[in-house]
Structure 1
Amino acid sequence: MRIAIAGGGLGGLTLARILHRHGIAAVVYEREANRSARSQGGMLDLHPESGQRALADAGLTARFQSEARPEGEEHRILDPAGRTLVHHTPQQGPGSFDGRPEIDRRALRDLLLDSLPRDAVAWHHRLTKATPRPDGGWALTFDNGQRIACDLLVGADGARSVARSLVTDARLSYVATLVELSIGDVDRRHPELAELVGPGNLWCVGVNQILAAQRLGDGSLRVGASLRADDRQIGDKRALLDLFGDWDPRLTALIEAGDGTVTERRIEAMPTGARWPSRRGVTLIGDAAHLMPPVGEGANQAMLDAAELAGQLAANPGDPDSAIRAYEEAMFTRIQPIAEMSARVQAMMLSPTAAEDIVRFFTRRPAEPALTD
């Protein structure tokens, strides 16, 4: 069986790795020219029940623990005047992996890439078209002119998935704007900002807007401004600073210290509860299947999708369509409450009462329900 995985993000690579461990060959077709063609973003926390479970299925737990930073779980929340609202520190001791240790996305992607045979990833292959073949399977066309045939296509090609259109006409909705910049070598160049952010995450929460920063393993800071969805254009740091003009200068220094230009991204989401009737020879994982606001679940659920799909294919090697149906039904059931929760958290974080709501979440009593799992 020829398996093509469109997209070499965390979900696609996890799927290829676990299939490889089961002796099932698959090729990942990735649009980027090579592994270092672009920045892979900030850091993420891997949850024991999803991301860490997938890495265990991939046989990569020890390597993950060598790259992860448990201290990155520290979380500081300030108001626009710079007053500390919450200072959350990991309950586990130094070096503990009992919680949700942080890892740079780049390090996690490299870990997965290094675990695969060299010919398992075809770089500079962005899927542009998939056409059903008369005898089953798909004819795939890529932007570099290459064409290949496969029996099973797994769409792991992210928010703008081409494979998604093969199974559903679900439309994305615009839910927020994220403006990003980075600060390199922060300990030497901006020690005051290094101290402000600490070893993990900083959120500065205002009315309908958040200024956040996170420490990466390479000594840099990744800074992001989350804004409500509208069609304004944030062209440079000056325009961004104007939006935070009445905030404490110690906080807006995170914007002023940014290296280079700002990057603006529309944050979009699929409808919660989106599903599709199973179709022979094709399925989706990760953002292609269930794009959600970025509140901590996307990468974890993509990796769990990969682990569960790989497990079904390994258990049903002679009937991949049955494996796909079983995977999709379980995935739909698992994802709906998580997507609903993610939408609520996204709305809460950019609301007029965001500071009060977030403080209440982080300081709730043990018997009170959490907003996230």
Structure 2
Amino acid sequence: MTSPNPAHARISIVGAGPGGLTCARVLQQRGIAVTVYDRDAGPDARDQGGTLDLHADNGQIALREAGLLDEFLQLARPEGQEMRQMDPSGTITSHQMPEPGELFKPEIDRGQLRDLLLNSLQPGTVRWGHGLDRVGGPSKGPRLLHFSDDTTVETDLVIGADGAFSRVRPAISPAVPEYSGISFLEAWFSDVEARHPDIADLVGQGGAHAADGERGLFAQRNSDDRIRVYLIQRVPADWIVASGLTAADTGAIRALLLERYARWSPRMRQMISNNEGPYVDRPIFALPAPHHWEHSPTVTLLGDAAHLMPPLGVGVNLAMLDASDLALALADAATVGDAVHTYEKTMLARSAEMSLALEGGAEHLLATTFPDFSDDEPLR
């Protein structure tokens, strides 16, 4: 099959996260039709997670290409660039405050960013309730998307923006994510100034990290007077079940955590014991580094589907930059295959360098020195 011109191609993005939606927005800005498929029943089907910082040298570049940078800056929280390093007693050992007017990496809630991107798309762009089972069809195309409801869609290009456990990735790569040995346990706090003033004081307006070499935590200020805390441990991926518990056993998990963090100060342990509702288990996975695949003119990947790395400040930013680069390549190329080749040449080199630099980096989350831990919590 001859690769079609992008303006006449059937382009399908799998995954309506920041990467997939950014790619769709930049394509539509340049007059190229695209459809996004997502397994969620709708945009409000689940919690979208915590806060993200979008960097001027990648994430914000993508938003500028999408024509959304000014709207982003109106929503973003520059004060969220504050970062605190603490010891287990709660003493601040390092404190980074943004300069007045600094906008290098302002924070925005993941849900706000997703809404900004979703609302910028043409009506009907996203097809909700379409969980992908697999990608079929010959490498040269056309490809066939097989969905969990037994429907299929024929397409000329499949863009896998469906995260860590991508259903698109097996069409071009046998790589699977590997457990890093480090796991997060997420805890939520709302109305913090009134209900949790001491925790609010500890965290400040941005993020706060503490660790003792064996365990740690990272707290993020979100909008609407909320804070999320990620308890960081070196444990087996199934540590909750191995302890004879389930994720719903909040009280028993809390007791176990308080035992493990027994040497931390009572003030710090509030972020373990005073959470509202159940904890959320988030083991940290990463793809082998570097991750490459043989070029296909009909399938490509972006973001975590292409280069899943530890959460050390690059995830969403790289996904959005990937998305913008791919969309611009499609807008400028004579054929879809040419565009994919151009995009992958840049993206694979960039992600290889970054993934090798961060390989094994999840261990840094337990270090007592301040890590660059300011981007996103691990989500699909």
Paired residues for 1:122-133 under 5 Å: 122-132=127-137
In structure 2, distance between residues paired with 1:227 and 1:241: 13
Higher relative CO (Cα under 8 Å, sequence separation at least 6) belongs to 2
Paired residues for 1:151-162 under 5 Å: 151-162=156-167
Paired residues for 1:1-373 under 5 Å: 1-90=9-98, 92-93=99-100, 96-132=101-137, 136-175=141-180, 176-230=182-236, 231-233=238-240, 235=247, 236-316=253-333, 318-343=334-359, 345-350=361-366, 354-355=367-368, 357-358=369-370
Aligned-partner residue type, residue 88 of structure 2: P
In structure 1, distance between residues paired with 2:311 and 2:222: 18
- Cα distance per residue 1:135-193 (max 9 Å; x no partner): 82211121233321111100001011011001111132111211101011111111111
Count, aligned residues:
353
SS at match of 1:145: coil
In structure 1, distance between residues paired with 2:148 and 2:123: 22
Identity over aligned residues, as a percent? 41
In structure 2, distance between residues paired with 1:275 and 1:8: 23
How much does 1:5 deviate?
0.3
In structure 1, distance between residues paired with 2:318 and 2:156: 25
How much does 1:292 deviate?
0.5
- Cα distance per residue 1:272-294 (max 9 Å; x no partner): 11101101211000000000011
Unaligned runs of 5+ in 2: 1-8, 248-252, 374-380
In structure 2, distance between residues paired with 1:306 and 1:9: 11
SS at match of 1:309: helix
SS at match of 1:288: helix
How much does 1:97 deviate?
4.6
With normalisation by structure 1, the TM-score equals 0.91
Aligned-partner residue type, residue 137 of structure 1: P
Unaligned runs of 5+ in 1: 363-373
Q: Contact 2:136–2:171 (CA<8 Å) still a contact in 1?
A: no
In structure 2, distance between residues paired with 1:342 and 1:14: 25
Q: 1:18 and 1:169, CA in 2 relative to 1: closer, same or farther beyond 3 A?
A: same
Aligned-partner residue type, residue 289 of structure 2: T
How much does 1:358 deviate?
2.4
With normalisation by structure 2, the TM-score equals 0.89
In structure 1, distance between residues paired with 2:110 and 2:139: 40
Cα root mean square deviation, aligned? 1.7
